[in-house]
């Protein structure tokens, strides 16, 4: 069975304005897909979309209305074959602080809302559109979803309770959803990145020094990963017809210490 052909198909990439999402959007476009860059950052998202011949959709992934609009925009450009769930936020804080005060429940709720509920929201809406398309091969394949978890789902550090919970939830939903969607020929996989060089670390000399220091804890190669390297695995999960129901760490072999 050949790789899934994305020529003339459409794709939605959440968080597509920067980092891993942007790299995935660019590689999907190179493979022939028309891409909807779904992000909150209008300036950057519009720039990326115009560079790759796609369109931008301002999208709060936890909103049903925004999600439907992004999926509809993709479906107008061609049959929807791929969703990359790359939008996410991280807000660190200990369960109780130095004064023994409890972590802000509102912050915890917000991280879960964007990272976990947002991923499920986009997945269910995209899967509904994919299910209504014609199969592309003899297996009855209609599309593929790639979720973004994190190494923090397995070895979350001090202060990562909210983030690790959200990403652990993404890992936990992967297999049951892959089982659900097998009936309509949609595959679902999750990638768990390690330390990736994205805008989250800021810019400038201090930032570069900090990233170099972080890179020393990676097994090999001793550096942060790039968005492009993660996108290689995104493309593998989308185009390899036998990749299904799996969570794959892409992290240079790192196992995160407590802090």
Cite the active site residues. Answer: 163
- Asked whether the beta carbons of 17 and 37 are under 8 A apart, the reply is yes
Distances (CA, A) of 245 to 74, 78, 158, 248: 24, 26, 29, 10
> In the numeric block, which tokens belong to residue 121?
């929201």
Q: How far apart are CA 100 and CA 103, in angstroms?
A: 9
Output b/e per residue, 81-104; b: 16+ Cβ within 10 A.
bbbbbbbbbbbebeeeeeeeeebe
- Asked whether the beta carbons of 152 and 163 are under 8 A apart, the reply is yes
């Amino acid at each position: 069975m050949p790789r899934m052909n994305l020529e003339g198909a459409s794709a939605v990439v959440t968080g597509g304005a920067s980092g891993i999402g942007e790299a995935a959007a660019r590689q999907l476009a190179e493979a022939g897909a028309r891409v909807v860059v779904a992000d909150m950052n209008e300036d950057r998202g519009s720039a990326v979309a115009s560079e790759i011949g796609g369109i931008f959709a301002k999208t709060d992934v936890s909103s049903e209305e925004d999600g439907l609009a992004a999926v509809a925009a993709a479906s107008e450009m061609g049959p929807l074959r791929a969703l990359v769930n790359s939008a996410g936020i991280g807000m660190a804080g200990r369960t109780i602080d130095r004064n023994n005060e409890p972590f802000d429940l509102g912050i915890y709720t917000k991280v879960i809302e964007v990272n976990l509920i947002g991923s499920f929201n986009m997945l269910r809406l995209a899967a509904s559109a994919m299910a209504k398309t014609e199969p592309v091969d003899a297996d009855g394949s209609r599309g593929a979803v790639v979720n973004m978890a994190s190494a923090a789902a397995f070895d979350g550090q001090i202060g990562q309770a909210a983030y690790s919970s959200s990403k652990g939830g993404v890992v936990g939903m992967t297999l049951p959803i892959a089982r659900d969607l097998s009936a309509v020929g949609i595959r679902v996989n999750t990638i768990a990145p390690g330390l990736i060089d994205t805008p989250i670390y800021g810019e400038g000399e201090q930032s570069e020094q900090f990233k170099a220091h972080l890179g020393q804890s990676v097994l090999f190669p001793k550096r942060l990963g790039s968005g492009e390297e993660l996108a290689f695995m995104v493309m593998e999960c989308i185009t390899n017809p036998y990749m299904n129901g799996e969570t794959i760490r892409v992290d240079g072999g790192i196992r995160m210490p407590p802090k």
